[in-house]
Structure 1
Amino acid sequence: MKGSVRFENVTKRFGEVVALKPLSLDIAPGTLCTLLGPSGCGKTTTLRLIAGLESASEGRILIGGQDVTHLSATYRRVSMVFQSYALFPHMTVLENVGYGLAVKGTPKAEVRDRAEAGLDLVGLKGFGARLPSELSGGQQQRVAVARAIVLEPEVLLLDEPLSNLDAKLRRHVREEIRQIQQRLGLTAVYVTHDQEEAMAVSDRIIVMKNAEIAQEGTPEDLYDRPASAFIADFIGDANVIPVEVAKAGPEAEIRLLDRTYALPLAWPATGPAQLVLRPHQLRLSRDAGDGMLPAEVSYAAWLGNSVQYTLTTPAGSLFAIASPQSEGFRKGDSLHVAFRATDARLVPAASGR
């Protein structure tokens, strides 16, 4: 199981503060797994525990089947790409990439060859003589990736690697990181708070909340089958509407205001729940129809490839996204909102309701 990562009931405490509740996870070799969540959820602590930069208070950590719980970072075959890049400004790009190899006592000729191969791999062949200050932000990030992979780690760790880049460059560099990871068959653990970034690069996503796992699965699993309103809202935009389940079983029947909807999905019990609808799943029309909700446009924004609407309805404020080729609406327009039963998802009611 070279490159696998396993946590067995791992806990991390800083004094009286529990930074990570008992956590168990498995990351398969050759996959890119993203730890996703808001600030303070425990994702960076988890990454630092894998790296050996923090020690577990309880539990076991295994990398490649080897128990590394009490091994320092020096003796773990992992490499880390930091948010700040951490490049040495006085060293050339080639020296930066080969630094880890040189520290390990690798012969100079081999350091140079492997560093040049690393730069070639990230598309920076011929940049070795430059200083980091002579590179763009995206190029500096690729140097940091090259420096990590030339060490031939079992696991590559990436801590918010794109947060210092602008949106367009971020998209470009994340594609490059994903292609390198797949080409080399590396096991990678990626930390971010950006759900779009996580969806774009991951084989598997672990969403964390309050120092524990809220849900894990493929990007498609989390988007199409959220286990809670938190997941639905965190993985993409979502409209979360309180409803009453009138009929449970293999097919559910819900009441929303004075309307009843039959949904082709299983639900365990009657009572309060929440209906999840993605913005692009709302259908907008000037004409009324069965089951449609009346609405008024409170905000409209044309974004080129889409039109976004905020709608005031009896069920609360809804967010809708439509094609720019669809019928246009302006602020103050009255319309009606519908959705397909096959698009609807249910999640448990909010606590305290």
Structure 2
Amino acid sequence: MAAESSVKVPRIKLGSKGLEVSAQGLGCMSMSAFYGQPKPEPDMIKLIHHAINTGVTFLDTSDVYGPYTNEILLGKALKDGMGEKVELATKFGVKIEDGQMAIHGDPAYVRAACEASLKRLDIDCIDLYYQHRIDTSVPVEVTIGELKKLVEEGKVKYIGLSEASASTIRRAHAIHPITAVQLEWSLWTRDVEEEIIPTCRELGIGIVAYSPLGRGFFSSGSKVVETFSEGDFRKLVPRLQPENLEHNTRLFERVKDMANRKGCTPSQLALAWVHHQGSDVCPIPGTTKIENFNDNIGALSVKLTKEDMAELESIASADAVKGYRCPTDMKTWETSDTPPLSTWKAVA
């Protein structure tokens, strides 16, 4: 049962500094990058407009998506007053160099990346600007110090971090309030619950959950791998490999059975579980199809009891999934600690 897009999308406060967003966002990465070939621009603009008109106004992009082409797409989609209706988040810090991802957080790079994103998005100020990955060669205080200057100059409204450890979040927040931390959180990725989520809540930081559908796994189970085209990086995700997929599919089938009982789709149930984590959590499922977007919005109408939540968490306990959540050479919060600020001063 795919819900209609007439569902009213509530608004939530993200963090404690005033940013208000739609309770569900739209991840735009797959429109341009990493999930196979870029999708036709007119179709993606139509989807973005549909999302905004539905009430999903929190849009998520990054300079590395493409690279650059996703920001350009958003810039085109938000012409003619559409940009005034949205909360736009983009990111910096990941650069493709010689076919490899390189991480940069030095002040000159931060400023140059911001200026370039503003130009591509054709805006004067970025609503939420994330450090996409943490540069472990630069003290996080140095990176956030430059972001703070960009806020003071009116080029950025709010600062965020993505894939940052609890200690990194604390150090960053001491320099300038962090409004949101973006992290992978779903029924099959729950390691952030131990330390990072409590840290965000202690500090009044909003939580933005990316890949809340397990990179499409909770939409169609093992069939998702049949949709992977050339260049789809999910082919490298360990938990979607044959040696792990059969085991993980059993988890999906249990979620699917429960969804049938609840009268919703598996993806709606998986998204509803994220929504029920709290009013400080905003999932940003990505899609390239309006029908899938409408299905995702239906998650907002799925009500879960304490018993439902307990059942889902017993199905998807922390050790229920086989395989790591992303390619093993990919930077995550687990490797995001940076040197002390004193070391930077010594070499500056």
User: TM-score scaled by structure 2?
Assistant: 0.33
Identify the structure with the greater strand proportion.
Answer: 1
- Structure index of larger Rg: 1
Higher RCO (CA 8 Å, separation ≥ 6 residues): 2
